[in-house]
Amino acid sequence: MAIVLIGPPAAGKTSVGRKLARRLGIEFVDTDKLIVAAHGPIADIFREHGEPHFRAIERETVAEALRRDAVVSLGGGAVLHPDTRSDLAGGPVVLLTVSREAVEARIGGSKRPLVQGIDSWQALVDARADLYASLASVTFDTSERPISSIVADIADWVGESR
């Protein structure tokens, strides 16, 4: 069964996910990286084909990734698809959150197509916060704590919830 990481852009899903998978001795899957490997840069997909085309590719990629025994990091908007939300129901879903202040340094020079600065990031977070919370089994904030501490807490939670 997949252990899924969700949350806004720059919350640390890839960094935490990679270390968590290593600690648990299972595969790490970053759905955004799978999309880039198969289809090219996400910003290019958005620019050339639009967001609906990207979301269709993302949905297919997410559905495949969720069938793996892995830590799976979803792109920030993957939860917008109703089928993805259905797939996540009942499984271990970890929401990573981050404060506006902490994320400012993380998104400098970002190539994220829907994040053009801190205000657009905040608008995304505000629009998706309730959705993220409704899907989460547990929430961890990545604003100030070391990644190693966050990973340890998630690993403990996974051990307790299995």
CA–CA dist 106, 112 (Å, integer): 11
- pLDDT score for 103: 85
Asked whether the beta carbons of 147 and 5 are under 8 A apart, the reply is no
pLDDT band at 75 (very low <50, low <70, confident <90, very high): very high
pTM passes above 0.85: yes
Q: What's the farthest any 2 CA atoms get from each other in the chain? A: 45
Q: What is the mean pLDDT of residues 143-153?
A: 97
Closest residue by Cα to residue 94 from 71, 123, 66: 71
CA–CA dist 40, 74 (Å, integer): 17
The CA distances from residue 40 to 87, 110, 121, 125, in Å, are 26, 16, 23, 26
User: Which residue in this structure is represented by tokens 């799976």?
Assistant: 72
DSSP codes, 99-136: -HHHHHHHTTT---TT-SSHHHHHHHHHHHHHHHHHH-
Segment holding 41, helix H or strand E: none
Q: What is the mean pLDDT of residues 118-126?
A: 85
CA–CA dist 63, 67 (Å, integer): 7
Q: What is the mean pLDDT of residues 39-55?
A: 93
Closest residue by Cα to residue 5 from 116, 98, 111, 112: 98
- Does 162 have pLDDT greater than 80? no
pLDDT band at 116 (very low <50, low <70, confident <90, very high): low
Q: Where are the domains of the chain?
A: 3-161
The dotted CATH code for 3-161 is 3.40.50.300
Burial of 107 (0-12, 13-18, 19+ CB in 10 A): middle
